[in-house]
């Protein structure tokens, strides 16, 4: 946090200046450099960067640009074994897994049902997956910035301008710097697809290579979670040391933190940002301490058998340690699908906390969307308190009306409707064939986690689930797609609705959202709403496992 917060402050200030849509004649040298880079892009694409769209136009522009890019990449994946730069892979992908890969990437979820080393050629990894990871991350950032800018500054903006700026001014420069750091710290970064060597036992071995450092940079900064290797950040090429593990955690959290600081700059009220960050970091620290203590105490069932107190090393990398794995898990549980250890090896309480984060989505959350879910919970809290106290509900100087409540409610209900119905359908039509009560309970947890992760654009999973089948690939592709674009539409329309409203001056009757009291209220409402919504499913899955675990 000592390193993350100052870096996030600088990035948040940079975002507030570059995305405010102001017409200031005085621009910094850096802004002029970026504009020189972006002008040819606007010209080639036929974009007028000064034209402002309506909220409806903003959404459909983002939606159709995502669909067109997915369609182009579909052919690249379908014919990957006929394209050059195949390396050692000559695998023909079937349609269900292609749909899953495309839906996963374009929704910024990057849930992985395939094995990258076996199923994807270097061409697909470098030139298809990376493009989708950049564009989906930029679309998420644009959505978050648009909603925040519309509510506070009353401006919708241009979707293409926001996406291009998100790439040229945020993702590309940061990824370039991070790539150099990762390469210096030992990650491969080469266009050689593999090298062969002979061991001292005269056995021929092959190592898969590639631009791993560059791929890892957009995976982390873009909160994608997709990986060059099936082991993800547990692989020594993707995460060689404790230092790289430390940097990866900062990379995952820097953009979500910076966007909340941008909120303070635009409101001209940094206290608001620090109240929100205090709540989010308090939850993060609580989760880290809980996970760390449970893993360091170990599995008491196994410890009683060996008559010795040992920490839980199952599924952890020794070079990263239990603390390094616990911090990473706490940091990514709602932000990214990256993982440096086997999630299933953690204590059931850890899985319960992860499921809460995936169901809530406001504790940092995925690129851009987490910010809007946080604002939405603030709106929801203000509305309920306004009803209790008899005050007119306002958020950031804008009065909350019927339309905003409908859109806010839709945003709150999209995730549970998709997740809970999918879990019920799967358990009915794809039950587990086992006589073990524990396996039935754990299968419930696996199914719940898989759909919760997909709907929250997270991508992590409990990997003992055999999910590379047509049913899982198609069902998850549908859930990820609907969750992403229904939420995106609700977010943009909510921002557009509030953008039309005049700013209201603060009075004594205004319920302030930048106080410690509101921070506690916001945390309570966020926790209780999520818990009540998913309570029966939590009881039948992780709570039962916790009780069985003892």
CB 126, CB 22: distance < 8 Å: no
Pick from 29-33, 106-110, 243-247 the range whose average pLDDT is largest: 243-247
What was the pLDDT predicted at 476?
A: 94
pLDDT: is 332 or 259 the higher one? Answer: 259
Nearest-10 Cα torsion for 131, 136, 139, 144: -140
Query: 80: which DSSP letter?
Result: G
Residue 339 three-state SS: coil
166 φ/ψ angles, rounded to the nearest 5 degrees: -60, -35
**209 versus 548: which is more confidently predicted?**
209
Give 257's contacts (C-beta < 8 A, 6+ positions apart): 4, 5, 8, 12, 277, 364
Q: What is the pLDDT of residues 117-174, one digit of tens each?
A: 889 998 998 889 999 999 999 999 999 999 999 999 888 989 999 999 999 999 999 9
Least confident of 255-264, 373-382, 507-516: 507-516
Task: Specify the range with the lowest mean pLDDT, choosing from 22-31, 111-120, 362-371.
Answer: 22-31
CB of 146 closer than 8 Å to CB of 48: no
Q: What is the mean pLDDT of the chain?
A: 89
pLDDT at 239 over 90: yes
pLDDT in the model for residue 466:
82
- Rounded to a whole number of angstroms, the CA Rg of the chain reads 23
Q: Per-residue pLDDT for 248 more than 60? A: yes
pLDDT of residue 11: 94
Q: Which of helix, strand or coil describes residue 261?
A: helix
Q: Which single residue is written with the structure tokens 């599995």? A: 299
List phi, psi (to 5°) of 354. -65, -40
Question: Per-residue pLDDT for 550 more than 70?
Answer: no
Burial pattern 353-381, b for ≥16 Cβ within 10 A else e, equals bbbbbbbbbbbbbbbbbbbbbbbbbbbbb
Give pLDDT, residue 24.
61
Which tens digit of pLDDT belongs to each residue from 309-348? Answer: 889 888 899 999 899 998 888 887 777 878 889 888 888 8
CB 445 within 8 A of CB 545: yes
Mean pLDDT of 422-450: 90
Neighbours of 131 (CB within 10 A): 16
pLDDT computed for residue 438 by the predictor:
86
**Looking at residue 23, what is its pLDDT?**
60
pLDDT of residue 25: 60
What does pTM read for this prediction? 0.93
C-alpha 220/C-alpha 222 separation (Å) is: 5
**Residue 217 vs residues 130, 178, 333: alpha-carbon distances, Å:** 10, 6, 19
Find, among 418, 432, 509, the residue nearest to 465 by Cα.
432
What are the tokens at 236? 């020594």
- Cα 496 from Cα 303, distance rounded (Å): 57
Give the confidence band of 30 by pLDDT, cuts at 50, 70, 90: confident
Digit-coded pLDDT (tens) for 184-235: 999 999 988 889 899 888 888 888 888 999 999 999 998 887 888 888 899 9
pLDDT for 8:
94
* pLDDT per position as a tens digit, 388-405: 877 778 888 888 888 889
- pLDDT recorded at residue 475: 94
Torsion region of 70: left, alpha or beta (phi above 0 gives left; psi -120 to 50 gives alpha): alpha
Q: Please state the φ and ψ torsions of residue 76, each to the nearest 5 degrees.
A: -65, -40
């Amino acid at each position: 946090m000592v390193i993350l917060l100052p870096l996030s402050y600088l990035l948040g200030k940079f975002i507030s200046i570059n995305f405010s849509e102001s017409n200031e004649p005085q621009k910094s040298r850096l802004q002029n450099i970026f504009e020189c880079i972006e002008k040819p892009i606007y010209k080639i694409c036929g974009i007028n960067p000064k034209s402002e769209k309506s909220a409806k136009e903003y959404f459909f522009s983002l939606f159709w640009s995502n669909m067109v890019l997915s369609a182009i990449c579909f052919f690249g994946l379908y014919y990957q074994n006929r394209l050059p730069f195949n390396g050692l892979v000559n695998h023909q992908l079937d349609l269900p897994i292609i749909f899953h890969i495309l839906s996963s990437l374009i929704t910024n979820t990057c849930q992985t049902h395939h094995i990258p080393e076996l199923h994807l050629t270097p061409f697909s990894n470098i030139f298809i997956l990376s493009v989708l990871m950049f564009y989906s991350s930029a679309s998420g950032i644009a959505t978050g910035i648009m909603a925040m800018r519309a509510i506070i500054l009353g401006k919708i903006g241009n979707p293409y301008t926001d996406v291009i700026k998100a790439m040229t001014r945020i993702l590309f420069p940061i990824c370039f710097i991070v790539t150099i750091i990762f390469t210096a710290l030992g990650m491969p970064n080469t266009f050689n697809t593999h090298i062969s060597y002979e061991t001292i036992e005269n056995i021929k071995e092959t190592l898969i290579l590639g631009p791993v450092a560059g791929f890892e940079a957009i995976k982390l900064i873009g909160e994608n979670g997709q990986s060059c290797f099936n082991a993800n950040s547990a692989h020594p090429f993707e995460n060689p040391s404790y230092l790289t593990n430390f940097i990866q955690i900062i990379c995952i959290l820097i953009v979500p933190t910076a966007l909340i600081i941008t909120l303070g700059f635009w409101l001209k009220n940094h206290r608001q940002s620090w109240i929100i960050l205090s709540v989010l970091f308090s939850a993060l620290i609580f989760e880290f301490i809980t996970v760390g203590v449970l893993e360091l105490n170990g599995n008491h069932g196994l410890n009683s058998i060996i008559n010795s107190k040992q920490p839980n090393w199952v599924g952890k990398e020794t070079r990263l340690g239990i603390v390094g794995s616990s911090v990473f898990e706490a940091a990514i549980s709602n932000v990214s699908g990256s993982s440096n250890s086997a999630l299933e090896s953690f204590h059931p309480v850890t899985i319960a906390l992860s499921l809460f984060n995936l169901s809530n989505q406001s504790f940092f959350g995925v690129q851009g969307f987490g910010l809007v879910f946080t604002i939405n919970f603030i709106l929801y809290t203000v509305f309920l308190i306004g009803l209790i106290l008899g005050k007119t509900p306002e958020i950031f100087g804008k009065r909350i009306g019927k339309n905003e409540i409908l859109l806010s409610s839709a945003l709150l209900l999209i995730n549970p409707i998709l997740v809970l119905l999918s879990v019920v359908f799967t358990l009915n039509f794809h039950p587990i064939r086992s006589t073990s009560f524990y396996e039935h309970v754990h299968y419930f947890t696996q199914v719940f986690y898989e759909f919760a992760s997909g709907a929250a654009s997270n991508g992590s999973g409990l990997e003992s689930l055999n999910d590379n089948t047509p049913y899982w690939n198609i069902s998850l592709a549908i859930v990820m797609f609907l969750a992403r674009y229904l939420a995106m539409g609700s977010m943009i329309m909510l921002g557009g609705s509030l953008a039309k409203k005049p700013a209201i001056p603060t009075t004594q009757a205004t319920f302030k959202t930048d106080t410690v009291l509101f921070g506690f209220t916001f945390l309570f409402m966020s926790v209780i709403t999520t818990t009540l919504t998913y309570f029966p499913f939590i009881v039948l899955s992780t709570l039962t496992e916790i009780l069985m675990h003892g």
